[in-house]
Amino acid sequence: MTNGDPWALLRSYTDARIGLGRAGSALPTSEVLKFSMAHAKARDAVRTPMDWTAIERELAALALASLRIASAATDRDSYLRRPDLGRVLGSESRQMLATQVRAAPELLLIIGDGLSSTAVAANAVATVGALLPFIRRNGWPLGPVLLASQARVALGDDAGGMLKARAVVMLIGERPGLSSPDSLGAYLTWEPRVGRKDGERNCISNIRTGGLSAAEAAFRINWLLREAFRLRLTGVRLKDESSYQLDAPPTMPAIRESI
């Protein structure tokens, strides 16, 4: 108990709204205001345009080339109302990829704005940076990192299939919750192509401060990728058993004990 509040200790373990109290038959004004702020942050995460210039600059600092692409959704409203348009490349992006990417990448990394530009700005480059040592250790040739506007997860199938990538990792802003407007998801698909089903890919979600750290997410992505290249599959037949791995990366000495 803290300051006479029996819920205080429990609140320190969760972002969920518990023990809110009441003022008569309604919520206290302070809780109503907190809820309104959380709702506003969630809306901003969906609606705020992605600042790709900052992402490009941070990727360049990691010695990674990048290319901007866009889905067939021409604006945010069409993206939100027509999910199908967010799953396929726009014609200009298709033509650009055909002319600028010559070699088929072993592994294709895509960063998509998705439903939370907040999540991408806060977590995407950190996750890529944590994943890079694994990629280099495994010797997977990378193409340029694709920065995808108005993107849904399946856009990776279209882009990856067009470039003949063996595997694609899509880092994308997840649908914001009222306690997590900054949650990033990572979706892994073996032999991407248009028509892949959700059950044919693996997902690691809740990558954010207060959730799964970028370092731990990279550890799990690497494990799944290694198994995907070994078994030639992703999806429901590939189970995440990274918790049992003993070869924790040098930058994460505590993972071995904590996972």
Give the pLDDT score at 245. 63
Q: Is the Cα torsion angle 172, 176, 182, 183 positive or negative in sign? A: negative
Q: How far is CA 92 from CA 12, 69, 128, 209, 249, in A?
A: 49, 8, 26, 36, 40
Q: Are residues 183 and 119 in contact, defined by beta-carbon separation less than 8 angstroms? A: yes
Domains and CATH numbers, the chain: 47-258 (3.40.50.11240)
Confidence of residue 257 (pLDDT cuts 50, 70, 90): very low
Percent of the chain with pLDDT over 90: 73
Q: How far is CA 199 from CA 22, 31, 77, 154, 192, in A?
A: 43, 39, 28, 12, 13
- Paired sense of beta strands 201-207 and 167-173, if any: unpaired
Give the pLDDT score at 235. 97
Helix, strand, coil proportions of the chain in percent (round to 5)?
45, 15, 40
Percent of the chain with pLDDT over 70: 93
Q: How far is CA 108 from CA 37, 57, 85, 246, in A?
A: 37, 19, 21, 26
In this predicted structure, which of 50-59, 146-155, 172-181, 217-226 has the lowest mean pLDDT? Answer: 172-181
Confidence of residue 3 (pLDDT cuts 50, 70, 90): low
- Paired sense of beta strands 145-149 and 107-112, if any: parallel
The total of other beta-carbon atoms located within 10 Å of residue 251's CB is 11
Q: Give the global pTM.
A: 0.88
Give the pLDDT score at 6. 81
SS3 154: coil
Burial class (CB in 10 A: 0-12, 13-18, 19+), 76: middle
List beta partners, residue 66. Answer: 145
Does residue 1 have a pLDDT over 50? Answer: no
φ, ψ at 223 (rounded to 5°): -60, -45
With tokens 């348009």, the residue in question is 85
Confidence of residue 210 (pLDDT cuts 50, 70, 90): confident
Confidence of residue 253 (pLDDT cuts 50, 70, 90): very low
Name the strands in the sheet holding 201-207, side by side, starting at the edge strand that comes first in the sequence: 66-70, 145-149, 107-112, 167-173, 184-190, 201-207
How far apart (Å, rounded) are the C-alpha atoms in residues 230 and 34?
48
- Give the model confidence (pLDDT) of 145-184 as tens digits: 999 999 999 999 999 999 999 999 999 999 998 888 999 9
Give the pLDDT score at 179. 83
